[in-house]
Amino acid sequence: MDTFRQFVDTNARWFRGHLPESDATLDAAEESLGVSLPQHIRWLLRDYGYWHATGISSLDETVSNTQAAREHLNLPARFIVLYDHQDGGVILLDTIADAETGQNKVYNSGWESVPDEIEDEIVYASYLDYVQDVLDREREFIAAEDVEYDPARYHST
């Protein structure tokens, strides 16, 4: 098992959530954006869905926010928006793996830095590094009783 899957499995209660994706929805998003999602992100969204530590708002928002950023900010096609924090900035994924590490960098950037100055912002060497940071921050304020996903609370099964 690779390091990313081991980390997610070890912290499953922070990742296992609602609305898991299917191969069909993931394929459709890739087609709409003209990129390939990293396999570990496909696995996470398909097998775990969205929850506290996923660090992705939703696949639908990723597609629409990425298309808008490409149109209005000239976001290069290799990047996708994982999370739009509005005035708080944006989380971008480079869908082309780094030649040296083989990992996909994640950028935590102000919208005003897109696209030319994202390297000057917070750069995670990998999606794993990013979700580790997300999990650390979530642990600080989510009450223990709210960590586990409860389908009854979200009207999903």
- For residue range 26-43, what is the model confidence (pLDDT) as tens digits? 999 999 999 999 999 999
- pTM, full prediction: 0.92
Alpha-carbon distance values, 41 to 57, 104, 111, 145, 149 (Å): 13, 10, 23, 27, 19
**Residue among 51, 60, 43 at smallest CA distance from 6:** 43
Mean pLDDT, range 96-107, rounded to an integer: 97
